[in-house]
Structure 1
Amino acid sequence: MIEELTEYFQGRVNRARDVIERASAGPVLIRLAVAVFAALSMVLAFPSQVTGNLAGIAVAGVVAVLPAFLPRTRLVGLAVFLCAFGWLIGTIVYDQPVGVTRLIALSTTLYLMHSLAALAAVLPYDAVLSPGVLAGWLLRAAGVVAASAIVSVLMLAAVKLVVGPAFLVASLVGVVAVGLLVWLIARRSA
């Protein structure tokens, strides 16, 4: 059994060495961007009381690096979930105000991290990318971010006009509309 474990770990070390030797600049740059956007998301999501100590910095660093190294796994979703959890901790426990700027910045960094992780998941380490591939990917992501920011600001302005039970009805109508839109998109792509 010890020999099998030794063989397994030696194979993993050899695989890691092979990946490091063959890695090209494009996929490494994309994975670095995933780590940077994940770290920014953690800093924006969690309150400064949590990320200001050494343990918080270590956890944010680990959470930022894992999706970059393993973009094909559920660790990307876990990083997004932890950021949402951090946002809830900040607003509920630490009474941080919900600001539009911080909310748009967090959603932007989360989307870019998730989008670039999807790109990193399909690229082999030794892929050679033309600059147009990455530029096109980032331009499409910027369009989604800009459109969602504009819609979010407009929706927040509309919420200020509607207060009370009408707000609950409007929220439920919005959830139903999003559900129908997702159903239509899923049906069309199938």
Structure 2
Amino acid sequence: MIEELQEYFFGRINRVRDTADRAAAGPLLVRLFVVVFAALSLALAFPAELLHNVVAIGLAGFFALLPGVFPRTRLVGLTIFLCVFGWLLATFLYGEKSSVVGLIGLSTAMYLMHSLAALAAVLPYDAVLSPGVLSGWLLRAGAVVAVSAIVSVALMLVVKLTVGPVFLVASLVGVLAAGGLAYVIARRA
């Protein structure tokens, strides 16, 4: 049994060594961008007071590395969940005011982390990427972010104008419309 365990661990070590030897610059750059946007998301989400703590910075760095190293796993979703938790912690427990610009920055960083993790998940380590692949991916993601920001700001202006029962009805209609759109897109896929 000990020989089997040794064989397993040496096999894993050799696999990591082979992967590191074959790794190309393009996939590693995509994974680096995932880590950068994960770190930015965590920095924007959590309260500023916590980011002055060395232990908190170390934990944020660790959780920022996870989606870059393991983009095919649920660790990407865990990092997004931590960002949302950090934002809720900053807003409700620490009393930090959330601004439109801050929320757009946080959502942009989280979306780019998630989108690039999806790209990293399908790229083999030894893939050769032309510069157009990464720039095209980032341009499409940037277009989604820009349209989302414009629509969000427009909806916030509408919300300021309509407060009360109309707002509740509009929110419910919006949730139903988003669910219907997701159903239509999933059905066509």
TM surpasses 0.5: yes
What does residue range 102-113 of structure 1 map to in structure 2 within 5 Å?
Answer: 102-113=102-113
CA shift, 1:165, in A, is 2.1
Q: Which amino acid aligns with 1:152?
A: S
What does residue range 1-190 of structure 1 map to in structure 2 within 5 Å?
Answer: 1-189=1-189
Q: Secondary structure at the match of 1:151?
A: helix
Structure 1 runs, 4 residues or longer, greater than 4 Å off: none
Partners of 1:157 and 1:84 lie apart in 2 by: 23
Partners of 2:143 and 2:159 lie apart in 1 by: 24
- Which sections of structure 1, spanning at least 5 residues, go unmatched? none
Q: Which amino acid aligns with 1:132?
A: G
Partners of 2:168 and 2:94 lie apart in 1 by: 26
Q: Which amino acid aligns with 1:44?
A: L
CA shift, 1:3, in A, is 2.1
CA shift, 1:154, in A, is 0.4
Partners of 2:3 and 2:94 lie apart in 1 by: 52
The Cα offsets for residues 131-158 of structure 1, whole Å up to 9 and x where unpaired, read as 1111111110010010001001101111
User: Identity over the aligned pairs, expressed in percent?
Assistant: 66
- Which sections of structure 2, spanning at least 5 residues, go unmatched? none
Partners of 2:162 and 2:2 lie apart in 1 by: 67
CA shift, 1:38, in A, is 0.1
TM-score with structure 1 length normalisation?
0.97
Q: Secondary structure at the match of 2:71?
A: coil
TM-score with structure 2 length normalisation?
0.97
Q: Secondary structure at the match of 1:125?
A: coil
- Paired residues in the alignment total 189
